[in-house]
Structures are given as structure tokens and as C-alpha cells.
Structure 1
Amino acid sequence: MPKPTHILVIRLSAMGDVAMTVPVLRVLAQTYPELKITVLSRPFFKPFFGGIPNLDFLEADVYGEHKRFGLIKLAKEAKDMEIDAVADLHNVIRSKIITKYLKFKGLKTATIDKGRTEKKRLISSKRENISQLKTTHQRYADVFEKLGFPIDLEKHIAPPKKKLSPKLNGLLGIESKKLIGIATFAAYQSKMYPLSLMADLIRDLDETDKYRIFLFGGGKKEIQLLKKLENPFANVTNVAGKLTFEEELALISNLDLMLSMDSGNGHLAAMYGVPVVTLWGVTHPFAGFVPFNQPESNQLMADRKKFPLIPTSIYGNKFPSGYEEAMKTIAPETVVQKVRELL
């Protein structure tokens, strides 16, 4: 079988997982400039891939037009684009249906190995000595190697910062200060830093008068909480609900640092080469979800001596009673010290 010339890359959700494909695809495009890439994902994620050469985007409406048997229609659309290989970076029922159909049509296919066995072993381990698993970024890269396109993720070249609109420049102000983004929420309470402690660390950063701090989030309840968090501080701006998604991405690309939970915003910042400090609760960086190219020293973890069953799950959705308190073992002073050290 000849070497592919046009790869369909499937990753339908979630936001952080789709964002993690971006630096990998950037390296793929840089390494093989003659290769055409088409990303199949949800329309909302299309802005992630701007600026990657030779990359097209195919929109998947998995709850509408492409629901159920519509997946075959979607696969046919891809085939009509002269796709000759498939990289399934998702490995769920929807992506499997598309991949199997295209394989039946004679296309070369490769699917991600999510490492379920070793991840299960990681969360069931009660030993002190847990070990680092392969990163999700490398698992993505392995799929392309199976298709004949090995890549070296260390050769990644971060993109330039996005141009700021007058609206965003207005948010930044005229004073020359370091820009910090803080994403205060996560999918599960067990992965979220207590808001009272977050207020303490924001106060410490605000009082230095060296930083402009932007709070990121979404949803009515979150926006209300962020408004309360913003109010007491002169250098803090809540941008949740005030910017389009493209504007948020532009602002994130211009940050000097992002402080995030184990959540999507950390991956958004990392795909632009922004330093990310991640706070970990009942999940753990060893599971392979550290934002791209971020050192171990930027991972601030809950105390495993007090909470020895961490990681209690891969995604933070399962944990024993009392473990929702794990994040409290990360002192605000520790976070502030790390931020100031990096800036």
C-alpha cells in the first residue's frame, strides 16, 4: 500500500482532548509539509487549528445531521475529499463506525491505544511508588507513526501570539504588567481548588501590583461566582461571558502564564506555548494528561501522604468520602511562590 497523502484525523470531544491534538498536528505538518490533513471534529473546535499549514476542517454534527446513520454520511463526505488514511485519536463508538467504514473502502487506518489497562493499574495502586504513564500527546503521535509518519514532539515550534483586537487591548490596559490567566473551575468538584483559597492567592498576586489577572469560566453559575471573586481586586478582570471563543483564544495566546486545574483551559494555553501551572486534586499528572511541554515542576499536587489513594480515578469522577478535601492541602502561598518564580 502506498504511503498516505491525505489523513483524516478524528477527535470529536472533549475540549481539552481536542486541544491536545493541536501541538501534535503542528509537529506533523512541520515534519511532513507535503502531507494534507483534515481534522474531523465539532464546529466549536475549528478555531483551534488556525495557522496549521495544509490542514482542513470537516464539521461533525453528531447530535443532528450526523447522528447514528448520519455517521456513514459523514464518512462518505470524508471519502469524497480524497482521504486515503484515517487516524482515529478518539477510539469511541462514533469514531469506530467512521473508521471501520473507511477501512472497508480500502483506506489505511490506525487507532489510538488509550492505555486503559495501565491506567486502571495506576488508580488501583495503593503503593507510594506510582510511575509516569505515556502522555496523551505521545499516544496521539504513535497513531501517526503507525500510518508511516513518525514525529518528534520535542521539535514543536509554538505559534506566534494572536493579534489583539481593540477590545482586548482595552482589557489589558496601558500599564506594562505580566498577564496571568486563572481558570478556576473543573468538571468535578474533586479537581477544583476551593474558591476561598483561590481568593487568598489572587489577593496575594493582586497586592504586588505587578500582574493583570484574567478569570476564565463559563455557565451562569460560574460567571456569578467569578464576578464575586473579581470585585475586591484592582488588577483582576472576569472575562467569562464577555468574549467570543475566538477572543478568549487570542487573549490566552498572549498570556505570560495560565493557572489551571486539571481541565481544558490548561491545554488551551499550552497549545500556544504559554507556561501553565496546574493544580491537581484527586487526579494525577502520571496518568498522561499534563498540558503540552509543561515541566514536572509546574504540577502542584495534593498531599498523597494524607490522601494515599490519589489518583482515585483518571478523570476525577470517582473518589472516596473525604477526598473532595484533597485540594486544600495545596497552600495558596505555594501557588503564589510558583507563579512569581516563573514570572
Structure 2
Amino acid sequence: MGDVAMTVPVICGMIKKYPAVKITVLTKSFTAPIFTDIPNVSVFIADVKGRHKGVVGLWKLYKELKNLEIDVVADLHHVLRSTILKQYFRLSSIPFVQLDKGRTEKRTLIDPERSTFKPLKTTFCRYADVFNTIGYTIADNEMQTLLPRKIPNSFSDFSRKGNYQLIGIAPFAAFKGKMYPLELMEIVIDQLNKTNKYKIILFGGGAKEIELLTNWEKQYENCTNAAGKLSFSEELALISNLKLMLAMDSGNAHLAAMFGVPTVTVWGVTHPYAGFYPFGQPESNALLSDRKKYPAIPTSIYGNKYPDGYDKVMETISPDVVVLKISELLANKV
């Protein structure tokens, strides 16, 4: 989901710079709402578990896409499925340009014996490189964020209560190596709750996550849980109205950033240098684990691998630091 959200600033910039271009986004049904109301952008659903499953299904998908009279394909994913599609498109001589994921550089970055430590090309630049190759240049400063959407009715009253600022908190990540300890996150929530300056909206998914967030909602009067209550489209609209999002190195950070929402991210065994830093966010919004104490960071690109003794790296980021960063950013928005 994060990778899909990161395409948005590039696509929006493309549409603004080249208004005669029509873009068809091939994506799964769940992520389709990300592209709602972007001018000149339509969505084609890839039913990879149904009619587009397997090699035969991808052939059907190719035939359906070919009927759209596509002039060129920009593959911003570069996985096995899209590589198979590339072979089919060759039969039609339709240009098909694939993303360079920079796998070699990323392997070097996570090597504990690395000789250098410097930022890699951002994912946004890698996406732009694909469009550049097909003849549509797009620079960093030409990329765009989305406008806010209408806040869901179920949260409209909540957002207007008193002189509060809306904060989103997404405490979960796909892997433990990217997730701030929940006991520390609860301290953050407790401190923010006690200020009575903010309304905190909790984001997540899955039964266990919803159970935890519901308990926090009951415990802290300025908290409400959005998980399990909204469609994905409604959740995006809610995120677009936040004054700030606190998230891990995860999809929710990118969803907030694609709307231009100030986004504070907490980093464990991954690192912004891998190129997955949320769009348009100052470097100071990244709260990093202590690399002096844990020099092997980043130990993986996705947070799924870390050596012995690196399971508590995020404990080097104190809740006070997180709360201070949020308070500073929101004080500047008053």
C-alpha cells in the first residue's frame, strides 16, 4: 500500500505538467480509492486472485489492457506479474519500461560491513525515472500532493469539538522491526491526551489491532478508534483532514504525506536512506533509533530482518522526544 501511495505525487505532477496525457492505473481493488478524483486518471482493477490469476489470467489481463489502446506502459512495480505482462506487450510492440528498484545499492546499504553510508535515490525519483524514459520528464519540485477530501460524516462532529487539533496515530507496521513498542506508544498517547489540546484518531487493521485501539479509546477521553469503522475510501478522507500523522515506516505515513499532511515517522531497524521517506517531509520529522548504539542499522529494507540484540532499538527513542516533536510542529500551525 505504501508503494502505491508513493506513486501519487509523481502521477499528480505528471498530470499537471502534461494535461493532455491520460493515465490508466493498474492496481488491486483495495487501493483504487487512492486515485479517486485525480484528473485524467482512471483505474483498471487487476483481479489477481480471480480472472487475472496465473499466467493464463495475466494473458487475459493483457488482452483487456490492449483494448484500451495504450501507447506505452510505465511499470512502477517491477514484480513477477508485471514482468510476465511485459513479455505479452512485446507481442504488440507497445513500449514497456520497468522500474529500477536499485536492489544492488540497497543490499550494500544493509550490509553491516558497508564502507559508506549515504542516502540512496528516493522511490519518487525512481518512479520519475520511468516516466523520463518514456519521454515525460518530471522533476522533484514538479510533484504534487492531493487536496483534502470531505471528512466522513461519522467524524465530522468529532473534528469540530472545541478548539482541538486532529492528530492521527498509526502504531502498527508489517514487521516488528519497524514498530515502536506499544507500551511506549501508550505513554505518548497518555501525554498527548492530558494536554487537552488534541483529538487523537487511531488507525490500524486486524482483529487484535482493533481490540487494542478500542481499549485505548475507552481509556483516553481524547482518543477515538477509526479502525474497523470506515471503508478505505472514508479512511483516506479522514487522513486528509488531519493536522498531523504519527506513524511508523509504513503505509499510513505515505497515505498522510500524499495529502501533504505533516507526518512524524518513528524508525527502527529500517532507515530513510533506503529511499522510502514520506513525500515532502523535512528530515527532522524522522525520529531515528540510535545508530551509535546500534551501528548495523539499517539491518533490512523492510524491517523483517535484524541481528541478535537489535529487537529493542526503538527503545532509544523516548516518548518525550516523540511528544515534543508533535507539539513543536502543531504549535507552528496555530
TM-score range, shorter chain: over 0.9
Quote the residue 2:47 is aligned against.
61
3-state secondary structure, aligned to 1:62: coil
The CA distance in 1 between the partners of 2:183 and 2:113, in whole Å, is 31
User: Partners of 2:219 and 2:233 in 1: how far apart?
Assistant: 28
* Alignment partner of 1:338 out of 322, 325, 330: 325
The structural deviation recorded for 1:164 is 1.9
Instruction: Answer with 237-246 or 118-127: which moved more.
Output: 118-127
Q: CA deviation at 1:46?
A: 0.9
8 Å Cα contact 1:126/1:308 also seen in 2: no
Structure 2 unpaired stretches of 5+: none
User: Contact 1:168–1:247 at 8 Å: present in 2 too?
Assistant: no
Equivalent residue number for residue 223 of structure 2: 236
TM-score normalised according to structure 2 size: 0.96
Q: What does residue 35 of structure 1 align with?
A: 21
Q: What is aligned with 2:7?
A: 21
Say how many residue pairs are matched: 329
Q: Is the CA contact (8 Å cut-off) linking 1:184 and 1:192 kept in structure 2?
A: yes
Question: With structure 1 as the length reference, what TM-score do the two structures score?
Answer: 0.93
The structure 2 residue matched to 1:122, chosen from 106, 109, 134, is 109
The aligned counterpart of 1:12 is none
Q: Which residue in the other structure is 1:317 paired with? A: 304
CA RMSD of aligned residues (A): 1.2
Q: 1:81-136, CA deviations, whole angstroms, 9 ceiling, x for partnerless residues?
A: 00010111111110011122112211112110000000000000445851000001
Does 2:52 align with 1:52?
no
Report the residue type matching 2:177 in the other structure: S
Q: Distance in 1 between matches of 2:159 and 2:113?
A: 47
Q: Distance in 2 between matches of 1:131 and 1:231?
A: 44
Q: 2:242 is matched with which residue?
A: 255
SS at match of 2:138: coil
* Deviation for aligned residue 1:142: 0.4
- 1:202 and 1:292 map into 2 onto residues whose CA distance is 25
* Aligned residue number for residue 286 of structure 2: 299
Return 33-42 or 220-229, whichever deviates more: 220-229
Cα displacement (A) at 1:165: 3.4
Residue 67 (structure 1) shift: 0.7
State the percentage of identical aligned residues: 56
* In structure 2, C-alpha distance between the alignment counterparts of 1:185 and 1:298, rounded to whole Å: 18
Unaligned runs of 5+ in 1: 1-14
Matched to 2:246, the amino acid is: L
Cα distance, 1:172 vs structure 2: 2.1
What letter corresponds to residue 172 of structure 1 in structure 2?
S
Distance in 1 (alpha carbons) for counterparts of 2:136 and 2:112 = 35
2:207 is equivalent to residue 224 of structure 1: no
CA offset digits 1:157-202 (Å, max 9, x no partner): 4332111232120332421211100000000111111111111111
The verdict on how the C-alpha distance between 1:305 and 1:277 changes in structure 2, with shifts beyond 3 A counting, is same
* Distance in 1 (alpha carbons) for counterparts of 2:236 and 2:291: 34
Other-structure match for 1:271: 258
Note if contact 1:262-1:280 (Cα within 8 Å) is conserved in structure 2. yes
Aligned-partner SS, 2:50 = coil
Question: Using the alignment, how far apart are the partners of 1:284 and 1:27 within structure 2?
Answer: 26
Q: 1:51 to 1:339 in 2, by over 3 A?
A: same
Residues 169 and 202, structure 2, Cα contact 8 Å, conserved in 1: yes
Matched, 1:89 2:76: yes
104 and 125 in structure 1: CA distance in 2 versus 1, 3 angstrom threshold: farther
Which sits farther off after the overlay, 198-207 or 161-170? 161-170
Q: How far apart in 1 are the matches of 2:311 and 2:216?
A: 21
Change (3 A) 1:205 1:308: same
Aligned to 1:166: 153
Aligned to 1:287: 274
